[in-house]
Amino acid sequence: MPITSALFYQAACSWRNQLHVLRRDSRFKTGFIAFVFIGFFLGIRLLFLSSFKFMDDLGGLSSLIISHLFALFFLGLGLMMTVSGIVTSYSTLYGSEEVPFLLAAPVSFRQIVLGRVTEAILLSSWAFFFIIIPFISAYQAHKDLSPLFMLWSLLFAVPFLTLGAGLGSFLVLITLRWMPQGRTLLISALVLLAIAAVGAGFALLHGYRNAESEEAFILTNLVPGMRFASQPFLPSWWMAEGIMAGSRGLWGRGLLFLLLLTSNALLVLTAIEGLGRTIFYESWQRAIGESSLGKRQPVLLAGLERALERLLPSDLRAMAFKDIRTFLRDPAQWAQSLVFFGLLGLYFVNLRSFRYNLLPEVWRSFIAFLNVFSVSAVLCSLGSRFVYPQLSLEGHGFWILNLAPTTPRRILFGKFTLAAGAMLLISLFLVLVSTTMLQVTTPVRLVTLGVGIAMPIAVAGLATGLGALFMDLRERNPAAIVSGFGGTLNLVLSLGYMLAAIVPFAALFHLSLIGHLTSRAFHGGVIAAAIWGVLLTAAAAGVPMALANRSLTHRDY
């Protein structure tokens, strides 16, 4: 028991140190984070509030579907929590530098796993409170409920988020213990994910065809997936029913669902504790050990590098493949990219399953631009996380590059080209899938593709250029590099460019489709927005790169 207390004390000290670091950060960064948080909270609360008011306009149908919509909302949050728990648990259990130290300390495997999983749950779930709180706050204001309703809902959120992240940790422990090692691990994981996605899609599309009640028929045709989310065996339904019971004054019924959620969350934690005692050490050895099954190439992607010998100069080819291998050898990096873009791709592929292609043209156009917005937001985030710290991570050995048969300018533009090319392939693929599934008109498709091309160029230019301007060769932690003034400025400018590039086109098409713009005004506006987009992209990518080139050329290493 004292050892367990020491582990939790160590976690508390870690969080306290993070607060001290936050106090020492620049005022610009702290102020910007506070501004974004307040704006995000107020904006999403206003969005939820307007949605509840829209539902009231539906008349008696609102009371029929409100609890089912709550269940659908929490089902989405639960699935995202599980995915987040998988990524975070892998980092805390198998990628943390503290685990080898704890294994050498007088601490049991069970206590190590509980401590690390608790940290993973906290890291995974804190952001979701920023979605749950505005949602519940908007419903509370809409129904004029007591302030105790917010506290009641947060009591449900704790075991619900613990259950979702705990399931992710449970899957990580099981997978890394019995999955095949080496490259087969990635292949097996992808196959299992594909099987799970197909199974979920089959259940979603065909599972409720056997519904016989009038209510089930209405719900199935109104919002796809709503009936599946309202299955009584899902924790999302327990949470929705418990919160709605509190809003109606049925506290006893709500308490039963709260106890049901809590008991299942504790059951998952108990199962994790058992796995920690029995299989954690073996899975940790398999995760960090080298595979001895068969012969493997000593250099990753050596065949591809040889195939490109005649297409790329030797210096650019060496730098590009070094960055690619570094990315692929770090599961924490490619796993995040795979999760974010994989979820977007899965959603885009299933747009017709949700019958969005049958909506009126104005809504299909609106959804298409929202999809471009979501892809661009992920590109901005990953550009700040992976592209911006690339030059800083070269470390003290950066001066060696000056002795190599290359120049700082070629290094800079080589990193820009690699980042822009990788993001361009992903962006174009996702935008093409989105517009094809939505069956939008040709003008909307061309404009969204144009934005999908411009966005990676601008994001790569900003991240690479500012990363060179604010290069810190002494720091080895990518998170610390990104959290500095330059990283914050890069994220601000990337998000600002995203809004400035997408909003004019989206507003023009929406106003035209609802009849508020004449054809002549619309075409003139599109031409002006296209010129604005080209100039903005050239400035966003060109100015930072030019300043970075000048800085690297005159810098003393």
Model confidence pLDDT, tens digit, residues 381-439: 888 888 888 887 776 566 666 666 777 788 888 889 888 998 999 999 999 999 998 88
| Cα 442 from chain centroid (whole Å) | 30
Say whether both 281 and 361 belong to one domain: no
Give residue 195's pLDDT band: very low, low, confident or very high (50, 70, 90): very low
- What is the per-residue pLDDT for 432? 92
- What is the per-residue pLDDT for 291? 43
Say whether both 224 and 325 belong to one domain: no
End residue of a domain, out of 270, 288, 306 = 288
User: What proportion of the chain, given as a percentage, has pLDDT over 70?
Assistant: 74
In angstroms, the Cα distances linking 456 to 93, 218, 543 are 33, 42, 16
Ramachandran bin of 189, using left for φ above 0, alpha for ψ from -120 to 50, beta for the remaining angles: alpha
Judge whether 462 and 540 are in contact, CB under 8 Å: yes
Judge whether 378 and 340 are in contact, CB under 8 Å: yes
In this predicted structure, the answer to whether residue 553 has a pLDDT above a threshold of 60 is yes
Q: Is the alpha carbon torsion for 101, 105, 108, 112 positive or negative?
A: negative
Contacts of 501 (CB under 8 A, 6+ apart): 376, 451, 454, 455, 458, 533, 536, 537
In this predicted structure, the answer to whether residue 527 has a pLDDT above a threshold of 90 is yes
- What is the per-residue pLDDT for 42? 82
User: What proportion of the chain, given as a percentage, has pLDDT over 90?
Assistant: 14
Task: Quote the CA–CA distance of 533 and 530 in Å, as a whole number.
Answer: 5
Lowest mean pLDDT among 280-294, 306-320, 491-505: 280-294
Say whether both 141 and 71 belong to one domain: yes
In this predicted structure, the answer to whether residue 199 has a pLDDT above a threshold of 70 is no
Task: Quote the CA–CA distance of 529 and 512 in Å, as a whole number.
Answer: 14
Say whether both 406 and 459 belong to one domain: yes
Task: Quote the CA–CA distance of 153 and 140 in Å, as a whole number.
Answer: 10
| Widest pairwise Cα distance in the chain | 77
Say whether both 267 and 349 belong to one domain: no
CB-CB neighbours of 115 under 10 Å: 22
Residue 441 lies in a domain: yes
Say whether both 260 and 153 belong to one domain: yes
Judge whether 366 and 510 are in contact, CB under 8 Å: yes
Give residue 482's pLDDT band: very low, low, confident or very high (50, 70, 90): confident
Say whether both 334 and 202 belong to one domain: no
Residue 22 lies in a domain: no
3-state secondary structure of 308: coil
Task: Quote the CA–CA distance of 232 and 243 in Å, as a whole number.
Answer: 15
At 295, the amino acid letter reads K
pLDDT, one tens digit per residue, over 329-360 is 766 666 667 767 777 777 787 777 777 778 88
End residue of a domain, out of 288, 307, 323 = 288
Task: Quote the CA–CA distance of 121 and 157 in Å, as a whole number.
Answer: 13
Task: Quote the CA–CA distance of 401 and 58 in Å, as a whole number.
Answer: 66
Contacts of 391 (CB under 8 A, 6+ apart): 398, 411, 412, 415, 464, 467, 468, 471
Give the total residue count for the chain.
557
Task: Quote the CA–CA distance of 32 and 492 in Å, as a whole number.
Answer: 8
Say whether both 462 and 340 belong to one domain: yes
Residue 280 lies in a domain: yes
In this predicted structure, the answer to whether residue 448 has a pLDDT above a threshold of 70 is yes
Number of domains in the chain: 2
Residue 16 lies in a domain: no
Say whether both 72 and 151 belong to one domain: yes
Task: Quote the CA–CA distance of 96 and 386 in Å, as a whole number.
Answer: 19
Say whether both 231 and 361 belong to one domain: no
Say whether both 225 and 373 belong to one domain: no
Residue 535 lies in a domain: yes
Judge whether 350 and 201 are in contact, CB under 8 Å: yes
Residue 351 lies in a domain: yes
The upper half-sphere exposure of residue 59, i.e. CA atoms within 13 Å in the direction of its Cβ, equals 1
Pick the residue with more confidence: 420 or 13? 420
Helices and strands in the chain, H and E counts: 22, 0
End residue of a domain, out of 248, 269, 288 = 288
| pTM for this predicted structure | 0.66
Contacts of 212 (CB under 8 A, 6+ apart): none
Say whether both 358 and 500 belong to one domain: yes
306 closest CA partner among 321, 288, 295: 321
Task: Quote the CA–CA distance of 123 and 127 in Å, as a whole number.
Answer: 8
Domain that holds residue 512: 315-554
Judge whether 222 and 72 are in contact, CB under 8 Å: no
Residue 540 lies in a domain: yes
